[in-house]
């Protein structure tokens, strides 16, 4: 895999490992609050709005083949309840761990770490570039994993009324009388009878014709 596109140390999601050094075992802890990048979450379902604060706590550990990054991200996500469609907010806490390898230590590090490592795994590897690494793809994967695929406003959200679409949590006693529906049907029938008998036959013929076509 080619190194990432040139990293910009001014990007808040790009971290510098120079201070950590390359002595295996060296540790560094970092806290940083960054603006959420675009599309941080499950698109169209729930996610952290672009620009919202994301609190990062990172632990950088220098190892033979690179820098092992372990961390936590905390943010508030926004979405919509899948049952009642009300807007909702939820706290996300995402944990992650990722190895950023030294490009020049690639071969040696790989052999030491796992002799059976294959090319497929290699493509997923992330590399340090001039001692910098980009946390964004790691953060994105971790946040997506931490978010619910089916967010609900409350665990027992009863959803919407199938008859009229009212939000049942707002109106627990909500119901429709079956009698009302029958009356409505009768009233509809009475209305169509009033339309006149001469239309009735032609209407029935037309319907039968449509039915035949659909069956073929
Ligand atoms: Zn709901
Ligand atoms: Zn209803």
CA 165–ligand 2 middle distance (angstroms): 6
What are the residue ranges of helices labelled H in the chain?
106-113, 119-123, 136-146, 178-194, 198-215
Q: Where in the chain are the domains?
A: 14-161
Question: Which ligand lies nearest to the CA atom of residue 159 in the structure?
Answer: 1
Which protein residues have their CB within 5 A of the ion that is ligand 1? Answer: 81, 83-84, 153, 157
Q: Is the pTM of this model over 0.85?
A: no
Question: Which ligand lies nearest to the CA atom of residue 170 in the structure?
Answer: 1
pLDDT in tens, 16-41: 999 998 899 999 999 999 999 999 99
Q: What is the mean pLDDT of residues 7-13?
A: 91
**Of the ranges 7-21, 167-181, 196-210, which one carries the lowest mean pLDDT score?**
196-210
Q: Can you give the C-alpha Rg of the chain in angstroms?
A: 30
Question: Which ligand lies nearest to the CA atom of residue 154 in the structure?
Answer: 1
**Are 105 and 66 a contacting pair, CB within 8 Å?**
yes
pLDDT for 124 equals: 79
174 pLDDT above the threshold of 90: no
Provide CB contacts within 8 A for 4, sequence distance 6+: 126, 127, 129, 134
Q: How far apart are the first and last CA of the chain?
A: 57
């Amino acid at each position: 895999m080619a190194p990432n596109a040139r990293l910009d140390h001014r990007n808040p999601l790009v971290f510098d490992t120079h201070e950590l050094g390359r002595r295996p075992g060296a540790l560094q802890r970092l806290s940083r609050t960054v603006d959420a990048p675009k599309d941080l979450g499950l698109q169209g379902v729930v996610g952290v709005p672009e620009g919202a604060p994301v609190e990062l706590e990172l632990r950088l550990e220098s190892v033979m083949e690179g820098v092992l990054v372990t961390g936590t991200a905390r943010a508030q996500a926004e979405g919509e309840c899948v049952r009642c469609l009300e807007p909702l907010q939820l706290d996300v806490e995402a944990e992650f761990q990722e190895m950023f390898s030294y490009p020049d230590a690639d071969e040696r590090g790989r052999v030491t770490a796992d002799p059976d490592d294959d090319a497929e795994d290699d493509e997923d590897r992330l590399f340090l570039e001039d001692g910098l690494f980009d946390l964004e793809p790691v953060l994105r994967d971790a946040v997506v994993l931490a978010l619910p695929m089916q967010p609900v406003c409350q665990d027992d959200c009863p959803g919407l009324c199938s008859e009229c679409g009212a939000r049942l949590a707002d109106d627990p006693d909500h119901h429709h009388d079956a009698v009302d529906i029958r009356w409505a049907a009768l009233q509809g029938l009475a209305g169509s009878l009033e339309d006149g008998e001469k239309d009735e036959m032609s209407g029935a013929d037309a319907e039968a014709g449509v039915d035949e076509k659909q069956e073929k």
